[in-house]
Structure 1
Amino acid sequence: MIRFGVDRLVADPDLLGGAKRVGLVTNDAARMAADPARLARVALREAGVPITRLFGPEHGLNVQSADGVHVDDGIDTMTGLPIISLYGERYCPSPAVMRDLDVVLFDIPNVGARFYTYTWTLYHMMAACTAALVPIIVLDRPNPLGGDLSLAEGPVLDLAVRSFVGEDAIPIRHQLTNGELATLWQREQFAGVRLDVLSCDGWTRAMQWPDLQLPWVPTSPAMPSFESAQLYPGTCLFEATNLSVGRGTDIPFQQIGAPWLDVPAVLSDLARRVPKGVEFSEVTFVTGLAPYAGELCHGIKITVTSASALRPVALGLLLMAAVASTHRLRFQ
């Protein structure tokens, strides 16, 4: 049976060590493994964990705000607690909201890709805890892409171009859990912080999300399914180009397209590059979002046929090479 870190804390609140004022970094995607319909923060409060303040990441506590849109502070309608946004005027909480806390809990599901911003909300919270001398406990969750380190992909980040979609030199597909990332950063950068990780019970590194036999809860508006998360480390690269990745459709990151894309030519080119673990099909789609809002896009849908053979970053680069080869004047 799978138990997340939050399940362990709900079962035994004494693991907090007597803390009286607790800050919690979370959102509505954080659910209990024992009851996926139950919000983690509600379960923690009902178990007697003295949460006094919530911190919300990109997309807000309700996971509804659009990509890249700043989120204001507010009040949580479920608990009545104040929410401090960490994706608005600040990425790092101010000393004023840290100084009265005994401990900070971090419990947000992640998707295993470097440029997913929840990773860097954890990073900045560790920096804030280090400065304020406040301990942090990561309530760990499985990486949905698994923990097999042989499947890690992509170059590590060049720190000369660090930003909130990449603050440290880790691969694009890193294969680490939040707790493991926090442990790495404590050893390398935040030695002054007291870190505890409540690890998952019943999880092994070979497991990907379907192996957990739990429903997928959308982690952000454009991450509605495991299939989107599976391909995201590679197809997200197209967001730096003039192709759409299907944001605003039911299958974002599972398709790419543009009004001008010559799909048969791209598929013919891909046939000689032989990407592993996937099949391609020709599609058309219309999205309400940029870069081609309201326009008919000719596209390619990607279907994963083998999770073990899939290399999403390599796939993204092969796709990009095929589009570039067949659209030398149009592709940017």
Structure 2
Amino acid sequence: MKVKFGIDVLLANPHPYLHTRIGLVCNQASVTQDGMNTRLALQKAGFKLIKIFGPEHGFDAQGEDGKFIDHQIDQLTQLPIISLYSQQLAPTQEDLSDLDLVIVDLPDIGARFYTYLWTMSYVMESCEKYRKPMLILDRPNPIASSLDMAEGPLLEPSCSSFIGRFPIPINHQCTFAELAQYFKASHYPQLKLEVMPMQYWDRATNTGYHFYPTSPAIQQREVTYVYPGSCLFEGLNINEGRGSDHAFQQFGAPWIDHEQLAIQVARELTDATIEKVAYIPNFGLYENEPCYGLKITPLNQNHFKAVSYFVKLIQIIYQLFPKELKERNYLTNVNPNGSKHLDKLLGLPNAFQKIIHEKVDTSANEWHTTMKPFLLY
């Protein structure tokens, strides 16, 4: 049976909200089951949309990773789009002054450092502070299967940033509505929060819907299964596949001997097929330089533990190329000098040293107990 997203459930019973002045947090990947963008579906159904708030990558979900996104006007609706990845990360009191309700309908890909989650948290913070009610329209987590598949480390508070504010695992296995309920209980107790669960979504099977690209590097669902681990390359002097046709699915660097690496990885890691690759990124790290590395394809996507796999892979790279492998600064709008990016990704201080000395625990054994009161499916 086809999954009904939160927006579809809302459209089936619009009456409590039809005369409400609404601010909508969404992007181009926020769509109904039949593919209509949420903002258009709400307008068509008679909802009173006042403004749109956009996350990182902008409303069109095409902005380059980490780049400042300015405010703009939506050409189809002529509504103002307030960027929450600009000089501000949260709605201001003025932004909310003419609204009766803020609706959040954002896609996710299930990794702690994918920033749409933290945009939601900042919106929750503003809505609590300025006493505006909030409604979360839920969507699938494309890599969810069971909370037993959650992977840490849990974020340590000293590593809190816009790619991880609160102590949750890297692969959290939850939906935004579930996490919103948890955040309300743990951080925003005065927030008036309502959630609109999906219908017919089964966490265990996680089928029955189409995956829409969520950002420039996440164009296919297959990428999401490796992303919670391969994104760690952003904090190292290894190209994470950006500037190629297989961002996050492949990686490389001019100094990697991929013949030697492939032999060692095949010996030690058996949860994915590996393919030796040579490519030239057309932007990003090592732009226009030949890079040599591997393409990683999980054998069983639903049981692939990407974080532990790529932590071990980084350890193998260090064992083979100890003089070449180094940390890298990763410059973004929210981290202009790019410092400690690997710490922020992994959620641990001195992450590089902990990885190469095999002192990273990727288990998240208590997460199921923590989240049990907030699960919807």
Q: Contact conserved, 2:108 with 2:141, CA < 8 A, in 1?
A: yes
Distance 1:139 1:193 in 2: 16
In structure 2, the partner of 1:21 is 21
1:148-203: per-residue Cα shift (whole Å, max 9, x none)? 10000021101112110010000000001010110000111101011111000000
Moved more, 141-150 or 129-138: 141-150
- Unaligned ranges ≥5, structure 2: 327-377
Moved more, 119-128 or 97-106: 97-106
In structure 2, the partner of 1:167 is 165
Partner SS for 1:104 = strand
Q: Contact conserved, 2:231 with 2:248, CA < 8 A, in 1?
A: yes
1:290 maps to 2:284: yes
In structure 1, the partner of 2:222 is 227
- Written as runs of structure 1 = structure 2, the 5 A alignment for 1:194-273 is 194-208=192-206, 211-214=207-210, 216-273=211-268
After TM superposition, give the deviation of residue 272 of structure 1 in Å: 2.9
1:46 maps to 2:41: no
Q: Which has the higher contact order (CA 8 A, sep 6+)?
A: 2
Q: Contact conserved, 1:4 with 1:201, CA < 8 A, in 2?
A: yes
Distance 2:219 2:243 in 1: 11
- State the TM-score, normalizing by the size of structure 2: 0.84
Structure 1: which amino acid aligns with 2:282? G
Partner SS for 2:107 = coil
In structure 2, the partner of 1:303 is 297
Partner SS for 2:274 = strand
Q: Contact conserved, 1:66 with 1:221, CA < 8 A, in 2?
A: yes
After TM superposition, give the deviation of residue 257 of structure 1 in Å: 0.4
Structure 2: which amino acid aligns with 1:315? Y
In structure 2, the partner of 1:185 is 183
Distance 2:8 2:237 in 1: 43
Q: Contact conserved, 1:9 with 1:15, CA < 8 A, in 2?
A: no
After TM superposition, give the deviation of residue 281 of structure 1 in Å: 0.8
After TM superposition, give the deviation of residue 266 of structure 1 in Å: 1.3
Q: Structure 1 residues 185 and 129, CA, compared in 2 at 3 Å: closer, same or farther?
A: same
Runs of 4+ in 1 over 3 A off after TM superposition: none
Distance 1:213 1:91 in 2: 30
Distance 2:302 2:173 in 1: 13
In structure 2, the partner of 1:316 is 310
In structure 1, the partner of 2:131 is 133
Q: Contact conserved, 1:26 with 1:108, CA < 8 A, in 2?
A: yes
Structure 2: which amino acid aligns with 1:291? L
1:189-238: per-residue Cα shift (whole Å, max 9, x none)? 10101111100000011133xx2242x21100111111111110000001
1:294-332: per-residue Cα shift (whole Å, max 9, x none)? 111111011122123311111111110111111011111
Partner SS for 1:41 = helix
Root-mean-square deviation over aligned CA pairs:
1.2
Partner SS for 1:281 = strand
Q: Contact conserved, 1:76 with 1:83, CA < 8 A, in 2?
A: yes
Using the aligned pairs only, state the percent identity. 38
After TM superposition, give the deviation of residue 147 of structure 1 in Å: 4.5
Distance 2:261 2:138 in 1: 41
Structure 2: which amino acid aligns with 1:250? D
Distance 1:12 1:69 in 2: 38
Distance 1:51 1:147 in 2: 35
What is the number of residues matched between the two proteins? 325
After TM superposition, give the deviation of residue 40 of structure 1 in Å: 1.3
In structure 2, the partner of 1:11 is 12
- Written as runs of structure 1 = structure 2, the 5 A alignment for 1:39-118 is 39-118=37-116
- Unaligned ranges ≥5, structure 1: none
Q: Contact conserved, 2:269 with 2:309, CA < 8 A, in 1?
A: no
Q: Contact conserved, 1:275 with 1:315, CA < 8 A, in 2?
A: no
